[in-house]
Amino acid sequence: MWFLFAAASALCFGLRGILYQWTSQRPIDRNLLLLGVYASGTLIALFAAAVTGQAWTKPVWIGTLLGLFSFVSNAAMYKGYSVGKASLVAMFTGLPPVVVVLFAYVLWGEKLNTAQLAAFIVIVAGILMIRYSNDISLKNLQGAHWGAITMLFFGLTDLSSKQATLIEAATLPTLALMYGTGSLLFAASWLLGRKQEAFVRAATRIGHEEAAAGKEEAPGSPVRAAASAAAAGSGPAPAIARGWSPGRTLIWGMFVGITNVCGMILAMPAFAAGVTGLVSVVIAMNVVLVLFYARFGLKEKFSRLESGGLLLALIGIIVLRLAA
């Protein structure tokens, strides 16, 4: 039964990935988008908890830890994509099941039998082949540390989900606290970004005014230093592009959040009933759905590595299903 829950969770997360990919092509504030995703999860989990009457006992506070880990993993992933090689960061996002298997063995003594281990290795190899790019080398590892942080904290999120089931924390209150914590953290990130954006706009305006007046910047003034850089078209001040309105971004994020919270609601019983590492690797198969979308929706062609990785991953799933 755990396999069906994990596969359904992977389907939801795959739909989330497709929506993320579509959204990434639009001029949108990513922190505000994720705030909407987590706010939607909070509201849905709170409503479902009230309807089902699940108890708000002490163990559900592990949800705050889940929210923290989820926030760090998402923040590190996006930071890695912005400063490093996308292919390298993407490869790391396929490795959390390895972290989960190792920690699950240390923490709870969970072991895989021969067939399960073989299936696990085949699936991970397939995921890595799908995400791997041949331009990665030891001399070309920009963003590797952000990728490693992403891998670790995605793995810790899965491990915390398992721990929540072991201490018998009610699913919906736990998820409400998880998404509530994430909402607060992404709201803080969004507000910080707004302040930085306002600073850059002010600096750009001052720079243009001083450039037009032919004045020199006052020494020691960080605003005027940034203004000069902005007026000259160089320096650290980023260009600010017009994008979606905050309201539209937040509403779209809340729509995307439906797939996210559904994926977590399905993942919790999978972790409760199944071996942690195997549940994690099945959920990680959501990348296959995104790959099919890229092939048939975006008309992208599969490379040999992607085709081989897809075949390996599907073989691994069949072997795992037989082993289960």
Count CA within 13 A, CB hemisphere, residue 132. 16
Q: Is the C-alpha dihedral spanning 115, 119, 122, 125 positive or negative?
A: negative
Mean pLDDT, rounded, for 307-320: 80
Lowest mean pLDDT among 32-36, 90-94, 116-120, 188-192: 90-94
**Per-residue model confidence as pLDDT tens digits over 3-21:** 999 999 999 998 998 898 8
SS3 call for 140? strand
According to DSSP, residue 220 is labeled T
Would you place residue 205 in the very low, low, confident or very high pLDDT band (cuts 50, 70, 90)? confident
What is the rounded CA–CA span in Å between residue 202 and residue 194? 12
**Tokens representing 143?**
């963003």
pLDDT for res 53: 96
Residue closest to 274 by CA, chosen among 52, 41, 7, 75: 7
pLDDT for res 216: 52
Q: Is the pLDDT of residue 304 over 50?
A: yes
The structure's pTM equals 0.80
**Tokens representing 233?**
């078209």
What is the rounded CA–CA span in Å between residue 173 and residue 179? 10
Count CA within 13 A, CB hemisphere, residue 236. 8
Single-letter amino acid code for the residue at 55: A
Residue closest to 151 by CA, chosen among 231, 69, 227: 69
pLDDT for res 295: 76
| Higher pLDDT among residues 134 and 99, named by residue | 99
Single-letter amino acid code for the residue at 285: M
Beta bridge partners of 140: 137
**Tokens representing 218?**
């006052």
Beta bridge partners of 137: 140
CA dihedral 140, 154, 103, 316 (to 10 degrees): -80
Tell the burial category of 235 from Cβ atoms under 10 Å away from its Cβ (0-12, 13-18, 19+).
middle
What is the rounded CA–CA span in Å between residue 323 and residue 76? 35
According to DSSP, residue 296 is labeled I
**Tokens representing 35?**
């705030």
What is the rounded CA–CA span in Å between residue 296 and residue 247? 31
Alpha helices, DSSP H, located in 167-242: 171-213, 222-232
Mean pLDDT, rounded, for 53-66: 96
Count of CB atoms within 10 A of residue 5's CB?
22
pLDDT for res 42: 98
**Tokens representing 119?**
């299936």
DSSP 92-116: HTT-HHHHHHHHHHHHH-----HHH
Lowest mean pLDDT among 62-66, 83-87, 181-185, 250-254: 83-87
Residue closest to 277 by CA, chosen among 67, 74, 6, 60: 6
pLDDT for res 276: 93
Residue with tokens 């491990």: 159
